[in-house]
């Protein structure tokens, strides 16, 4: 495997895991409990981590198809925000249509904030991982 690919996967996986765990289980645990949608008493952390790993692998694979030239941080941010919007539509908007959420507006807002932070951080890291892409 190329170094850029591995770094891109880690650039997604590490911040996403740290943000996801602290966001959902520490900072906003009571808020998420009040939505009434996360009702598993003991979340299966390895399953969630596996999901993040798959996302990181896919994003690391796709980024070189997106990048053409320019500042790797800026291009990574653009890529991250595009992918974040896509994943937000799948993980939040589609689920909101299918599950009962106690406060739909607040749910959409807190999830949008989460995805914005997540992909605002991970996108540039993916871009930096591939910063030498033009020379490869």
Q: What is the mean pLDDT of residues 61-75?
A: 90
Say whether pTM exceeds 0.85. yes
Report the domain count for the chain: 1
pLDDT in tens, 99-113: 999 999 999 999 999
Least confident of 1-5, 19-23, 88-92: 1-5
> What is the rounded CA–CA span in Å between residue 128 and residue 29?
32
Task: Give the residue numbers spanning the domain of 72.
Answer: 3-135
Instruction: Give the pLDDT score at 134.
Output: 58
3-state secondary structure 35-75: HCCCCCCCCCHHHHHHHHHHHHHHHHHHHHHHCCCCCHHHH
Question: What secondary structure letter does DSSP report for 29?
Answer: H
Question: What's the token pair of residue 88?
Answer: 């937000």
């Amino acid at each position: 495997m190329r170094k850029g690919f591995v770094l891109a996967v880690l650039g997604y996986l590490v911040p996403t895991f740290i943000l996801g765990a602290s966001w959902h289980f520490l900072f906003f645990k009571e808020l998420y409990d009040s939505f009434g949608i996360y009702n598993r008493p003991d979340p299966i952390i390895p399953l969630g981590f596996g999901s993040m790993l798959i996302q990181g692998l896919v994003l690391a694979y796709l980024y070189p198809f997106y990048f053409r030239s320019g500042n790797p941080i800026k291009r990574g941010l653009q890529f991250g925000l595009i992918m974040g919007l896509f994943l937000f539509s799948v993980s939040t908007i589609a689920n909101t249509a299918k599950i009962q959420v106690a406060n739909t507006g607040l749910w959409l807002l807190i999830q949008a904030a989460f995805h914005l932070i997540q992909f605002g951080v991970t996108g540039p890291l993916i871009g930096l991982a591939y910063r030498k892409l033009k020379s490869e």
